[in-house]
Structure 1
Amino acid sequence: MTTSYPAQFLAVAGTRPEVIKLAPVLMAFAERSAEAKAALGVTGQHRNLIDAALNLFGLTPAFDLNLMRPGQSPAEFMGRALVDLTTILQHHQPRPAALIVQGDTTTATAAAWTGFLSRLPVAHVEAGLRTRDRRQPFPEEINRRTIGLLADWHFAPTPRARDHLLAEGVASERVLVVGNTVVDALRWLQQRLTEADLPASARRVLDAGYRLVLVTAHRREAFGTPLRNVLLALRDLVMSFENVRILFPVHPNPAVQEATREHLAGVEQIQCVEPLNYRQFIAAMSRADLIVTDSGGVQEEASSLGVPTLVTRDQTERPEGVEVGLVRLVGTERRRIVAEAAALLGDSTRQTRPDRPLNLYGDGQAGRRIVAALLGDANPPPPFVPSIIPTNSSDECRYESTQDRCGFQWSGPRHSRH
C-alpha cells in the first residue's frame, strides 16, 4: 500500500476530546498554509463520538483506521493501533516533519510510540499533567508519563504542568507554556452558538423554572462501587431539592450504561440522554447551575465559563481550578457529593456568572503558539500566563508560578471566590 499526503506535519486522534483539542492546532496551521500543512489521521477509538466532532470543525481525516471493536480492552486496541500506525508511517509521503499527539489516551500513547520507533519527532499537546498516582486516572496517568518520555516537544497548558516536566528532567528549551487548546476551541464555538443548540432536554428544564445540574461520568477507575455511589448521590440530590433537575448524557461505555439503568431507571427528575454533540454540550454547560463530572476537559471548560463544578474523583491533574475555588474535589462518597452539591445550590451569596472570560487554563491562542514553535518562528508569541478576571471588577487577579516553582499564589487584589 502506497499513500501520499500533502502534510509536513501529521496529527493523530482517536477520541472526541482529542479532535476538539487538536482542531485549534490544525486551524492555526491552515492560517499559515503557505509555510506548512498539517493532516489529521484518526484511529476511531471512540467511533460513535468522534465523527460529529470532525464535522463540527470541518476536518476530513487523511486516514481512518476504524479500530473500534465492541468490548475491546485497552491492550487489544493498543496492539492494533501500533501495527496500523506503523504501516501508515512507513508509506507516508512526504515523511512528516513531526507527529502531533494530544493528551493521554491510548491513541495518543500508541501514536507517540509509533513516532518514536519510526524516528520521527513527537510533539505532545497538553503535556505535563500529573496526579502522581499511577492508578488515578487509569490508565491516563501512565499514558501521559510515557508520552513525556517519548516526546521531543512538550506543549504544557499551564505553568504547573511545565514545572512537572522540568522536575522530571525535561530540558527547559523543549517545554513551552501555551495554554490549553480546549479554550481555543471553546471560544471559537461560543462565537457560533445559537439558542437552537441548547438541547431540548435542557430547554424543558429551564423553561419550567428548574435549576439545571449537568452530569458526566466515564472514568474506568470508578466502575463498580464508586460509580454506583455517584449515581445514588444524584438520586438523593433530586429527592432533596424539588427545584433541581439533572441532565445526564450517558457515556456509551457498557459499564456506565448498565449502572445507569440499574440505579436511575424511573427517576423522573434525572434525564438520562444519549451523548450530546459538542455544540449541545457547551450550550447546556453555559446554562447549568452546577456541573458534576469526572472529566478533565470538563473541568477546564467549566472553569473557563465560570460554572461551579464538583469533580467526583479523589485527585485531579488540573488543580488550578480547585485552588481558586472554581472546582471542588468530592470523591465518590455518596453523602459528601450530596452535601457539597447542596451547599453550592443553596448558596444565595455565590457570585453571578462572569461576563468576561476566566483565563485560568488558556487565552484562546494556544494553537497559534504551538504552530509558531513547530515552525521555529524567530519572534514567537509570549508564553501563556494564567489569570482570572473577577466579575464586576476591572482589577485582574493573576494566578502564577512562584519563584521556587513549587506552586501558585494570588498576586494583586483579593476577591471573593465563592
Structure 2
Amino acid sequence: MRSVAVVLGTRPEAIKFAPVIRALKDDPRFAPTVISTGQHRQMLDETLEAFGLRPDIDLEIMAPRQTLSQVTSRSLQGLGEVFKELRTEAVLVHGDTATTLAGALSGFHHQIPVIHVEAGLRSGHLNSPFPEEGNRRLVAQVSALHLAPTPGNRANLLREGIADDTIVVTGNTVIDALRWASDRAQDYGSDAIEDLDSDNRRVVLASAHRREAWPDLPQIAEAFASIADEPDVRVVIPLHRNPVVRDALLPRIGNHPNITIVDPLSYLCFSKLMRRADLIVSDSSGAQEEGPALGKPTLVLGSVTERSEAVVAGTARLVGTKTGGIVQAACELLRDPGAYDRMANATNPYGDGRATERTVDAIAHYFGDSPAPDQFVPATPIDELSAELARTAAFARA
C-alpha cells in the first residue's frame, strides 16, 4: 500500500478533497493520512463531518486576526514536524490557499513528491485573486504531478514549461462532491430560510469575501440591496465570518426587508440552497464551478477569473465589483427570460462526475501501480484563445 499525506485546511479544500479522501480510503492500493492545518476552523470541521471524515492529524494553527504570513509560517512549522516523523510517499495539496503553499513547500523541503490537485488555474494577473494566483504558480514549480481540471488548465501549465507527461486532465472533483451531496440535506440549516420552498419569489444567492474585493465591499452591498429591490425577488446572503466583510456589508443590507442574512451554512445545506436559487452572485471560486453544474446563471464579482471556461461557455459572467455593473447584469437576467435561459442551459465545462476516479488512478499511475487513466474531455470543447481573450478583456474593463 502507498502511504500518501493529504494536506488541507479550508472549507473549499475539504469539499473538493472529500471525494478523493473517501476513494483513497476505500482503495487497497493506498493508506492515506489526512492532515488539517485548521486554517478555516469551524467551517472546515463542519464540512469534513458532512462527508463522514475526520483529520488524522490536526495542527490547529488558527488564531484571531492572523496575517497571511503567520498562517503560512505556522503551517510550515507544524507540517515540518509531522513530515519528520511520518513516512509518506507523496503529499497531496489542493488549489491555492496558504495551506496549499505550506504543504507543497514542506513536502519539497523533505524531498517528498508533491501532487497538486486542481492544478493549472491561472488568471494571468499576479495580484488577482490575491494571494491565490501567486500561491498556485509557486506550487506548480515544486510539484511532481499536476492534476488539472480542464484542458485549458493543462495548456496554462504547458506554457509555463511544465512537462506534458506530468499533467493529467481529470475534471474538477467539486462536481463529484456536488453530486454526492445532492438531496442529502434534510433542511436549509437556518430557521431564517426554512420557508424557502414555500416562498414563490425568485431567490438570488449572494456572497462576497475575497481580499481583493474588500475596498469595494460597500459598492457590492449597495448592489445586493438594489437587486433585492426588484419585484418578487429575495436575496439570501450566507455572510462570511471575517469581521472586515461583516463590518462593510451589514450597514447597508442588514435591515433590508427582502434580504435574508444567515451564518455560513454546512456544505449539505449550502448545496440545497444552491439548488433552490434562481441566480448566484458571488466572488466565490466554488460558485463559478458549482453554479454552472446546477444550471444556475452565475455572476462573478470580479474583473478577472482563473475559471474563464465558464465565461466562454456562457454559464458565468464577470460583472466587476462596482454597483452599476453588478445591478445591470443581475436585472437583465431577472427581467429577460431569454437571457436567463441562455445562461441556465449552457454546457457545464468542469466535469462529468468521474474526476475522483481519474485522480486516484493518476496517483496510482505515478507510482507505477496502474495504467494511465483516460483524461477528461469536456462535452463542448472550449477554445483556448477565446478563454484567454475572456480573461484579458475582463481585466481591461476593470
Q: Please report how far the alpha carbon of residue 163 of structure 1 lies from its aligned counterpart in structure 2 after TM superposition.
A: 0.1
- Aligned position for 2:392: none
- Aligned position for 1:399: 381
Q: Please report how far the alpha carbon of residue 44 of structure 1 lies from its aligned counterpart in structure 2 after TM superposition.
A: 0.5
TM-score normalized by the length of structure 1? 0.88
User: Which of 54, 62, 69 is the equivalent residue of 1:68?
Assistant: 62
- Residue by residue, what CA displacement relative to the aligned partner does 1:250-303 show, whole Å, maximum 9, x if unpaired? 001110111122222211211111001111111011111110000111110001
Conserved in 1, the CA contact under 8 Å of 2:8 and 2:37? yes
- Aligned position for 2:80: 86
Q: 1:315 to 1:64 in 2, by over 3 A?
A: same
- Secondary structure of the 2:260 match is strand
Matches within 5 A, 1:376-415: 376=365, 377-387=369-379, 398-400=380-382, 406=385
User: Which of 268, 277, 280 is the equivalent residue of 2:269?
Assistant: 280
The structure richer in helix per residue is: 2
Conserved in 2, the CA contact under 8 Å of 1:27 and 1:367? no
1:363 and 2:363 equivalent? no
User: Which of 5, 11, 23 is the equivalent residue of 1:10?
Assistant: 5
Matches within 5 A, 1:23-102: 23-32=18-27, 34-92=28-86, 95-102=87-94
Gaps of 5+ in 2: 389-398
Q: Matches of 1:107 and 1:285 in 2, distance apart?
A: 27
Conserved in 1, the CA contact under 8 Å of 2:309 and 2:382? no
Q: Matches of 2:387 and 2:114 in 1, distance apart?
A: 29
- Aligned position for 2:396: none
Q: Please report how far the alpha carbon of residue 197 of structure 1 lies from its aligned counterpart in structure 2 after TM superposition.
A: 4.3
Amino acid of the structure 1 residue aligned with 2:20: V
Matches within 5 A, 1:118-197: 118-190=110-182, 192-197=183-188
Amino acid of the structure 1 residue aligned with 2:211: R
Q: Please report how far the alpha carbon of residue 205 of structure 1 lies from its aligned counterpart in structure 2 after TM superposition.
A: 4.1
- Aligned position for 2:284: 295
1:373 and 2:362 equivalent? yes
- Residue by residue, what CA displacement relative to the aligned partner does 1:327-384 show, whole Å, maximum 9, x if unpaired? 11000111111111000011123439979x9541011111111111111254343100
- Aligned position for 1:257: 246
Q: Matches of 2:43 and 2:370 in 1, distance apart?
A: 39
Gaps of 5+ in 1: 1-5, 388-397, 410-418
Q: 1:244 to 1:43 in 2, by over 3 A?
A: same
TM-score normalized by the length of structure 2? 0.92
Q: 1:178 to 1:87 in 2, by over 3 A?
A: same
Q: Please report how far the alpha carbon of residue 30 of structure 1 lies from its aligned counterpart in structure 2 after TM superposition.
A: 2.3
Conserved in 2, the CA contact under 8 Å of 1:163 and 1:406? no
Q: Matches of 1:358 and 1:61 in 2, distance apart?
A: 36
Q: Please report how far the alpha carbon of residue 249 of structure 1 lies from its aligned counterpart in structure 2 after TM superposition.
A: 0.5
Q: Please report how far the alpha carbon of residue 132 of structure 1 lies from its aligned counterpart in structure 2 after TM superposition.
A: 0.9
Q: 1:399 to 1:200 in 2, by over 3 A?
A: farther
Q: Matches of 1:164 and 1:352 in 2, distance apart?
A: 28
Conserved in 1, the CA contact under 8 Å of 2:281 and 2:298? yes
Q: 1:312 to 1:333 in 2, by over 3 A?
A: same
- Residue by residue, what CA displacement relative to the aligned partner does 1:25-66 show, whole Å, maximum 9, x if unpaired? 11221231x222112110000112101111011112111111
Q: Please report how far the alpha carbon of residue 203 of structure 1 lies from its aligned counterpart in structure 2 after TM superposition.
A: 4.0
Count of residue pairs brought into register by the alignment: 384
Q: Matches of 2:48 and 2:186 in 1, distance apart?
A: 22
Conserved in 2, the CA contact under 8 Å of 1:292 and 1:310? yes
- Aligned position for 2:341: 351
Q: Matches of 2:174 and 2:292 in 1, distance apart?
A: 12
Q: Matches of 2:222 and 2:95 in 1, distance apart?
A: 31
Amino acid of the structure 2 residue aligned with 1:258: D
Q: Please report how far the alpha carbon of residue 400 of structure 1 lies from its aligned counterpart in structure 2 after TM superposition.
A: 4.1
- Aligned position for 2:16: 21
Q: 1:353 to 1:333 in 2, by over 3 A?
A: closer
Q: Please report how far the alpha carbon of residue 204 of structure 1 lies from its aligned counterpart in structure 2 after TM superposition.
A: 2.3
Conserved in 1, the CA contact under 8 Å of 2:202 and 2:232? yes
User: Which of 296, 308, 319 is the equivalent residue of 1:307?
Assistant: 296
